[in-house]
């Protein structure tokens, strides 16, 4: 069985090889990332913040980033935390959370989600093809995030720059999300 | 020929705003015409003297163009670009001509001029209102076969296209502070005012250009500038402002709750060669803080005998065709009016060189200013007169005039007749927003009264007629500080609603109220006589206002006629409800991107492509595509499935179980929480072990099931059915947040985190062993119902020893991105050992051979764990769980409930139909007493016979009994057995 010992599984990414967009917007799959769904009570938020090295946001629709990690407020006791990179299997975030030594739930969802980056002057219009949120900078500034609907699927939307958004979506919905974004991108360029 | 004569003999040189050099060619009923760019189809045809455009709905009467706008009830045409891009029932007054358009009339056969259906006009006594409610009801069979097809063929308007729509449609959500519906004087002024506040404004108008009434009203000036020119300059100014969006060719079709409005923007329908990326239409869904309604008003026609001939149209329409398109509607035009506005149309025509036969005014005292001007222009005015009839087969050639109350009639030759009964405020959107109207008695009209949302009406739609007042109202509505002055030549007076002289209750004439549905004044009176006393009933009985124009011209007339008949004032008779959409909206726009691959998400597992390459057929389970079976070349489904079933039990099979719902339950109170959600006990489950769990609802019936593995004291890996995943998570969250908020436990959906490869069969262990590190797979170290975190192909994995086949089974969970690689490697090895791939069909059969339940197939929401034979899964020790009280209800513990049992047909080759009803005595009289039904039924290759599972009343006490399944062509005898058909001792699972 020696030949099998060297048989290490290789990774196949959802949306691998797809790209799209229009004159007004660029669509591309994000790099793989390590992700956890973090749940913790209000009394222990600061302990988890310290353990993760960023301030977990406590205001709805906000996010925070530090040390290559980003935390998105999803609910009163729920955050989506992702870390740049993620070539390895997602354990650095769960380990960091565990080091807090307070009661919490950190569940690895690195592979549950995938992300699509939407950038360019038509980015907001592209998303508004299927997303009912007000994406003006006043209502949805840089760093704003929301778990919301895009057409018929759930996404978590994060604005990373004036004209750049990150769309987190469950992997089996990513083809649909990319397809609808492509339609939105085509229309946003008109 | 000059360009202008090319584009029609009825073009008047120097009139209109279009550019004579810019032409477009189109055909109408096969004949070629030249139009000017910016013409509507109606204007272009009128320019060539074409007035006959269609046949009416019921009586097939010749019909022409009544209006110059979206309220048009008559001139509905079939417009096509090519074979697939064909649209029926297009309003000729809205559709702009584009080069190459092919346009045809509708509802006529064999031709527009000679239409056989016109016999209906002569036979009209047989087609009285409500005829379809009263006639043709007998004999019953004849309705579907004879009457309905005939009525449908003869009464249809337009023919649906048969090819798939090749265009695409876009969708956009947008938010703003102020949405302004209508860009006439009021809308533009309100937009200027609102824009000055810096707020985010969207100004919408349905016409190609802004201006509204300024399209026809050429005498009004704003700030000393020609009104139409001011409108265009204002639009340009607004467009240049960063906080303003101006949308033309865009209709606000719906005003819904909380400032939510639906808009449709028409993008390519007027373009000769649209670019590939341009959508045909775009749906805008707008959320706004405030709405300014500046929708203006719509002119009404006069209701008199034979008022529907081609060549009869609204005065404002004729004025619009003249002043905007440079087209006259005739050379010798009659006017019939009850309102001053028609005089201005006559003045404009007269000044353009058109002769005005006479102005017939039903009033004794028209406005003095217009009367004086008419005299000055030498136009004959007959006050206190009525047009009591018209003649002309395919186009009006005369009007018959009589003094009010006098029988003396005289014919006046005309080639067109323009009419006005006054103006109806467009309160459609206001009403859609749930605003309440009040009746303005003096002016006989409904105007906005009580607002239900943050909106305000300005101008014509608010009943504000005076220009200065209108401008002030619009400035106030916009909330800004601007100054604007307007001047118009005449203050208008007058107006009437209801039937005119000579079309009253004593006259049996066809005086049309609703042109599209062929409803006459007489029909409305008949409805009242037949007992319809509510306007809603009258509407439905006569279909007045129910055509695609939704009664924009007819509602007020119909109401007045009904009110007169009922002897009750109009506010007491009431007004029918205005519903969205304001004008028809295409399905393409409403569904926009939701077609083809974007109709619904198709969820695919990480191994989908590999399964496809192995020839899998897929079935839909919820939104998932699941591998159904894997036919080899030449195999049909039955052969493939039988081979798969046999191979799994003889060797092994590989199955993609990734779609099973997975929920990670984490926290110090996780076991306690599961104790409350499932009927089983979970605190006794040790880490590293699994248990099959059943979840009931409060009523005690089975809700879902699945295997739950305990990974640690505070961490469980819960699985659910594929279809149940989202609702089980919601159910759990619901209880956690509302009933058990004191518990420290959290739930996360991990369905898609893991790719799940099930390996089942006697050689399962041998197949996976080389790939697994960190876990001894022997029976002793890793018995049935174990779970371990280990490494598979170098990847952290969760390995379950579980079985849904009754064989030795493993389910390998690896992070989803690794699923394909692990599946490929395992399949390569398994294949070399004689194993197979299997799909959901084989999975169903193998579990049925073992009597394993499928929630939703063998249960239907009325089955308790005990009914299903799973009473052992209900803890006797627990004092609480969801469903514990429900399970104690008398009906749920009584004898004789339907229970799941096995059925074996007496003839082993006979496979029962799922859903088949079961009886004890097939010879009893009908209706028979039915004992239950077949829930699952298959051919079992492993047993060489059919097997079935059924819900049968008192089933478990009927073991060995013979029951019957009566079918349409035969009765099948079956024996009641237990549910385990294969390996009754259950030894194989521990092999």
pLDDT-based confidence at residue B548 (cuts at 50, 70, 90): confident
State the average pLDDT over residues A130-144.
98
CB-based contact A152 B600, cutoff 8 Å = yes
Query: Domains along chain A?
Result: 20-188 (3.30.1360.120)
Residue B850 phi, psi dihedral angles, 5° rounding: -100, 0
pLDDT (tens digit, 9 = 90+) per residue, B825-851? 999 999 999 999 999 999 999 999 999
Position B181 scores a pLDDT of: 98
Q: Are the C-beta atoms of B836 and B941 separated by less than 8 Å?
A: no
Residue in B458, B451, B455, B421 with CA at minimum distance from that of residue B298: B421
User: How far is the alpha carbon of A129 from chain B, nearest alpha carbon, in Å?
Assistant: 4
Residue in B481, B429, B428, B424 with CA at minimum distance from that of residue B455: B429
CB-based contact B602 A175, cutoff 8 Å = yes
Residue B123 pLDDT > 80: no
With CA atoms as reference, the chain B residue closest to A77 would be B746
CB-based contact A12 B754, cutoff 8 Å = no
CB atoms within 10 A of CB B284: 23
Position B138 scores a pLDDT of: 59
Of A39, A113, A189, the CB nearest to B746: A39
Dihedral angle over CA of B196, B202, B208, B213, nearest 10: -60
Which residues in chain A are contacts of B172 at CB distance < 8 A? 125, 128-129, 187
User: How far is the alpha carbon of B902 from chain A, nearest alpha carbon, in Å?
Assistant: 37
Which residues in chain B are contacts of A171 at CB distance < 8 A? 606, 752, 816
Which residues in chain B are contacts of A20 at CB distance < 8 A? none
Query: Which of A8, A12, A188 to probe the B interface (max B CBs under 10 A)?
Result: A12
Q: Which two tokens stand for residue B595?
A: 């077609």
CB-based contact B175 A134, cutoff 8 Å = yes
Worst-scoring range by mean pLDDT, A137-151, B114-128, B746-760? B114-128
Mean pLDDT, chain A, whole residue set: 93
Residue B751 contacts A where some CB pair is shorter than 8 Å: yes
State the average pLDDT over residues A4-33.
88
CA–CA separation, B56 and B876 (whole Å): 76
Of B173, B598, B816, the CB nearest to A132: B173
Residue with more model confidence, B968 or A3: B968
CB contacts under 8 A, A 124-153 vs B, are 125, 128-134, 136, 139, 151-153
Residue B446 phi, psi dihedral angles, 5° rounding: -95, 135
Which residues in chain B are contacts of A111 at CB distance < 8 A? 752-754, 815-817
CA–CA separation, B932 and B948 (whole Å): 13
pLDDT (tens digit, 9 = 90+) per residue, B458-483? 999 999 999 999 999 999 999 999 99
Q: How many CA atoms lie within 13 A of B331 on its CB side?
A: 4
Residue B128 contacts A where some CB pair is shorter than 8 Å: no
CB-based contact A8 B749, cutoff 8 Å = no
Residue in B231, B215, B235 with CA at minimum distance from that of residue B223: B231
Residue B651 phi, psi dihedral angles, 5° rounding: -125, -85
Which residues in chain A are contacts of B281 at CB distance < 8 A? none
pLDDT-based confidence at residue A5 (cuts at 50, 70, 90): very low
Which residues in chain A are contacts of B279 at CB distance < 8 A? 187, 190
Position B806 scores a pLDDT of: 97
Residue A10 contacts B where some CB pair is shorter than 8 Å: yes
User: How far is the alpha carbon of A168 from chain B, nearest alpha carbon, in Å?
Assistant: 13
Q: Are the C-beta atoms of A39 and A102 separated by less than 8 Å?
A: no
Residue B660 contacts A where some CB pair is shorter than 8 Å: no
Position A1 scores a pLDDT of: 38
Which residues in chain A are contacts of B749 at CB distance < 8 A? 112
User: pTM for the complete prediction?
Assistant: 0.94
CB contacts under 8 A, A 101-120 vs B, are 103-113
Position A43 scores a pLDDT of: 96
User: How far is the alpha carbon of A67 from chain B, nearest alpha carbon, in Å?
Assistant: 25
State the average pLDDT over residues B66-73.
96
State the average pLDDT over residues B586-590.
95
pLDDT-based confidence at residue B5 (cuts at 50, 70, 90): very low
Residues facing residue A22 across a β-bridge:
A25
**B444-458: b (≥16 Cβ within 10 Å) or e:** bbbbbeebebebbbb
CB-based contact B285 A132, cutoff 8 Å = yes
Mean pLDDT, chain B, whole residue set: 95
CB-based contact A9 B175, cutoff 8 Å = no
Of A12, A32, A190, the CB nearest to B277: A190
Residue B523 pLDDT > 90: yes
DSSP 8-state assignment for residue A19: -
With CA atoms as reference, the chain B residue closest to A169 would be B752
CB-based contact A105 B601, cutoff 8 Å = no
Quick one: which H or E segment has residue B644? helix B637-650
pLDDT (tens digit, 9 = 90+) per residue, B431-451? 999 999 999 999 999 999 999
Of B668, B753, B818, the CB nearest to A11: B818
CA–CA separation, B291 and B207 (whole Å): 19
User: What's the length of chain A?
Assistant: 190
Position B118 scores a pLDDT of: 77
Residue A95 contacts B where some CB pair is shorter than 8 Å: no
pLDDT-based confidence at residue B155 (cuts at 50, 70, 90): low
ipTM, 2 dp:
0.96
With CA atoms as reference, the chain A residue closest to B277 would be A186
CB-based contact A128 B668, cutoff 8 Å = no
CB-based contact B606 A12, cutoff 8 Å = yes
User: How far is the alpha carbon of A13 from chain B, nearest alpha carbon, in Å?
Assistant: 6
Which residues in chain B are contacts of A109 at CB distance < 8 A? 748, 750, 753
Residue B136 pLDDT > 70: no
Residue A97 phi, psi dihedral angles, 5° rounding: -65, -40
User: How far is the alpha carbon of B769 from chain A, nearest alpha carbon, in Å?
Assistant: 10
pLDDT (tens digit, 9 = 90+) per residue, B662-701? 999 999 999 999 999 999 999 999 999 999 999 999 999 9
Q: Which two tokens stand for residue B193?
A: 């005012």
Residue B600 contacts A where some CB pair is shorter than 8 Å: yes
Residue A125 phi, psi dihedral angles, 5° rounding: -65, -35
Position B108 scores a pLDDT of: 79
Position B154 scores a pLDDT of: 59
Residue B781 phi, psi dihedral angles, 5° rounding: -80, -25
Which residues in chain B are contacts of A24 at CB distance < 8 A? none
Percent of chain B with pLDDT over 90: 90
pLDDT-based confidence at residue B110 (cuts at 50, 70, 90): confident
Quick one: which H or E segment has residue B185? helix B185-195
Query: Domains along chain B?
Result: 3-126 (3.10.20.440), 169-297+425-487 (3.50.50.60), 658-756+768-818 (3.30.1360.120), 891-991 (2.40.30.110)
Q: How far apart are the first and last CA of chain B?
A: 98
DSSP E strands, B805-853:
809-815, 836-837
Residue B588 pLDDT > 50: yes
Of A112, A136, A171, the CB nearest to B175: A136
Residue in B530, B570, B614, B659 with CA at minimum distance from that of residue B828: B614
Position B117 scores a pLDDT of: 75
Residue A34 phi, psi dihedral angles, 5° rounding: -85, 135
State the average pLDDT over residues B302-314.
98
With CA atoms as reference, the chain A residue closest to B773 would be A5
CA–CA separation, B795 and B775 (whole Å): 13
Position B900 scores a pLDDT of: 98
pLDDT (tens digit, 9 = 90+) per residue, B258-272? 999 999 999 999 999
Of B279, B748, B771, the CB nearest to A109: B748
Strand B945-953 relative to strand B898-905, pairing: antiparallel
Residue A41 contacts B where some CB pair is shorter than 8 Å: yes
CA–CA separation, B692 and B709 (whole Å): 9
Of B174, B600, B770, the CB nearest to A4: B770
State the average pLDDT over residues B138-162.
68
DSSP 8-state assignment for residue B913: P
Which residues in chain A are contacts of B287 at CB distance < 8 A? 132, 134
Position B416 scores a pLDDT of: 98
* Distant-in-sequence, close-in-space partners of B864: CB < 8 Å, separation ≥ 6: B696, B700, B701, B702, B887, B892, B897
User: How far is the alpha carbon of B125 from chain A, nearest alpha carbon, in Å?
Assistant: 53
Position B57 scores a pLDDT of: 83
Q: Which two tokens stand for residue B87?
A: 């649209």
Position B4 scores a pLDDT of: 42
CA–CA separation, B241 and B482 (whole Å): 16
């Amino acid at each position: 069985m020696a030949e099998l010992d060297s048989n290490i599984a290789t990774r196949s990414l959802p949306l691998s090889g797809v790209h799209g967009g229009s004159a007004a917007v660029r669509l591309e799959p994000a790099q793989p990332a390590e992700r956890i769904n973090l749940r913790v009570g209000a009394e222990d938020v600061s302990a988890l913040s310290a353990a993760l090295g960023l301030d977990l946001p406590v205001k709805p629709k906000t996010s925070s980033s530090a040390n290559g990690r980003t935390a998105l407020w999803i609910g009163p006791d729920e955050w989506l935390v992702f870390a740049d990179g993620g070539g390895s299997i997602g354990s650095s975030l769960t380990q960091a959370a565990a080091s807090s030594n307070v009661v919490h739930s950190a569940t690895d969802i690195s592979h549950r989600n995938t992300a699509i980056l939407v950038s360019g002057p038509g980015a907001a219009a592209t998303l508004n093809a299927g997303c009912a949120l007000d994406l003006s900078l006043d209502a949805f500034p840089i760093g704003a995030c929301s778990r919301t609907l895009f057409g018929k699927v759930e996404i978590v939307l994060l604005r990373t720059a004036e004209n750049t958004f990150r769309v987190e979506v469950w992997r089996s919905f990513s083809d649909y999300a990319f397809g609808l974004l492509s339609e939105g991108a085509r229309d946003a360029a008109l | 020929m000059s360009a202008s004569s090319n584009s029609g003999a009825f073009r008047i040189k120097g009139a209109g705003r279009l550019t004579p050099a810019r032409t477009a060619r189109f055909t109408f009923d096969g004949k070629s015409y030249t139009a000017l760019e910016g013409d509507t189809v109606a204007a272009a045809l009128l320019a060539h003297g074409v007035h006959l455009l269609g046949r009416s709905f019921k009586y097939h009467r010749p019909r022409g163009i009544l209006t110059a706008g979206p309220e048009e009830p008559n001139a509905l045409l079939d417009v096509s670009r090519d074979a697939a891009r064909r649209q029926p029932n297009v309003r000729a007054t809205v559709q702009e001509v584009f080069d190459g358009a092919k346009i045809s009339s509708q509802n006529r056969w064999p031709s527009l001029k000679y239409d056989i259906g016109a016999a209906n006009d002569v036979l009209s006594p047989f087609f009285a209102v409500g005829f379809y409610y009263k006639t043709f009801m007998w004999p019953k069979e004849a309705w579907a076969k004879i009457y309905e097809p005939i009525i449908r063929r003869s009464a249809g308007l337009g023919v649906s296209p048969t090819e798939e729509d090749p265009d695409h449609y876009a969708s956009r959500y947008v938010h703003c502070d102020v949405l302004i519906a209508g860009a006439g004087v009021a809308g533009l002024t309100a937009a200027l005012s609102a824009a000055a506040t810096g707020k985010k404004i969207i100004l919408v108008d349905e016409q190609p250009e802004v201006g509204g009434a300024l399209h026809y009203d050429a005498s009004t000036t704003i700030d000393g500038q020609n009104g139409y020119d001011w409108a265009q300059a204002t639009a340009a100014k607004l467009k240049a402002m960063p906080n303003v969006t101006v949308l033309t060719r865009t209709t606000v079709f719906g005003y819904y709750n909380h400032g939510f409005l639906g808009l449709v923007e028409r993008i390519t329908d007027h373009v000769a060669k649209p670019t590939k990326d341009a959508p045909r239409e775009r749906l805008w869904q707008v959320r706004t803080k405030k709405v300014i309604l500046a929708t203006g008003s719509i002119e009404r026609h006069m209701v008199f005998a034979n008022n529907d001939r081609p060549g009869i149209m609204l005065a404002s329409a004729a004025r619009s065709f003249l002043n905007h398109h440079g087209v006259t509607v005739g050379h010798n035009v009659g006017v019939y009016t009850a309102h001053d506005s028609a005089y201005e149309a006559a003045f404009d025509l007269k000044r353009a060189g058109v002769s005005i036969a006479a102005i017939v005014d039903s009033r004794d005292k028209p406005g003095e200013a217009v009367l004086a001007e008419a005299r000055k222009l030498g136009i004959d005015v007959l006050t206190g007169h009525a047009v009591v009839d018209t003649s002309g087969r395919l186009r009006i050639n005369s009007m018959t005039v009589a003094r009010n109350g006098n029988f003396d009639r005289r014919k006046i030759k005309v080639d067109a007749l323009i009419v006005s009964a006054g103006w109806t405020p467009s309160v459609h959107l206001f009403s859609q927003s749930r605003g309440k109207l009040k009746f303005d008695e003096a002016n006989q009209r409904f105007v906005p009264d009580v607002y239900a949302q943050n909106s305000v009406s300005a101008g014509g739609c608010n009943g504000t007629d005076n220009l200065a007042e209108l401008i002030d109202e619009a400035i106030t509505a916009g909330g800004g500080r601007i100054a604007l002055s307007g001047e118009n030549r005449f203050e208008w007076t007058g107006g009437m609603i209801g039937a005119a002289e000579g079309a009253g209750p004593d006259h049996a004439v066809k005086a049309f109220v609703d042109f599209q549905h062929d409803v006459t004044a007489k029909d409305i009176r008949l409805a009242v006589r037949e007992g319809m006393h509510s306007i809603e009933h009258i509407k439905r009985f006569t279909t007045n206002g129910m055509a695609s124009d939704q009664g924009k011209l007819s509602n007020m007339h119909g109401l007045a006629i009904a009110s007169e008949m009922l002897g009750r004032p109009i506010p007491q008779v009431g007004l029918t409800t205005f519903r969205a959409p304001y004008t028809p909206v295409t399905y393409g726009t409403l569904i926009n991107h939701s077609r083809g691959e974007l109709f619904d998400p198709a969820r695919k597992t990480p191994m989908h492509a590999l399964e496809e390459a192995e020839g899998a057929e897929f079935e839909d389970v919820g939104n998932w595509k699941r591998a159904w079976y894997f036919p080899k070349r030449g195999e049909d489904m039955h052969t493939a499935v039988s081979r798969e079933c046999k191979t799994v039990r003889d060797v092994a099979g590989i199955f993609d179980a990734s779609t099973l719902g997975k929920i990670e339950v984490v926290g110090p109170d996780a076991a306690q929480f599961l104790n409350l959600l499932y009927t089983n006990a979970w605190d006794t489950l040790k880490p590293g072990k699994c248990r099959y769990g059943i979840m009931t609802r409060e009523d005690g019936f089975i809700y879902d099931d699945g295997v739950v593995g305990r990974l640690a004291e505070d961490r469980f890996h819960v699985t659910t059915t594929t279809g149940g995943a989202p609702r089980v998570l919601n159910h759990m969250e619901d209880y956690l947040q509302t009933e058990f908020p004191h518990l420290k436990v959290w739930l996360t959906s991990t369905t898609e985190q893991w790719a799940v490869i099930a390996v089942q069969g006697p050689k399962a262990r041998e197949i996976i062993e080389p790939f697994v590190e960190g876990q001894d797979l022997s029976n002793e170290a890793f018995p049935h119902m174990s779970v371990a975190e280990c490494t598979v192909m170098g990847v952290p994995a969760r390995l379950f020893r579980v079985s849904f086949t009754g064989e030795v089974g493993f389910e390998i969970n690896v992070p989803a991105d690794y699923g394909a690689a692990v599946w490929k490697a395992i399949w390569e090895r398994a294949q070399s050992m004689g194993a197979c791939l299997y799909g959901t069909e084989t999975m169903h059969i193998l579990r049925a051979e073992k009597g394993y339940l499928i929630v939703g197939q063998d249960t239907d929401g009325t089955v308790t764990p005990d009914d299903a034979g799973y009473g052992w899964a209900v803890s006797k020790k627990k004092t609480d769980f969801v469903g514990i009280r429900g399970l104690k209800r008398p009906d749920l513990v009584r004898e004789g409930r339907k229970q799941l049992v096995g059925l074996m047909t007496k003839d082993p080759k006979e496979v029962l139909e799922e859903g088949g009803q079961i009886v004890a005595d097939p010879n009893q009289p009908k209706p028979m007493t039915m004992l239950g039904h077949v829930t699952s039924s298959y051919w079992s290759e492993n047993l060489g016979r059919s097997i079935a599972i059924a819900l049968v009343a008192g089933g478990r006490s009927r073991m060995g009994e013979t029951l019957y399944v009566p079918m349409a062509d035969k009765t099948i005898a079956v024996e009641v057995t237990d549910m385990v058909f294969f390996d009754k001792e259950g030894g194989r699972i521990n092999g």
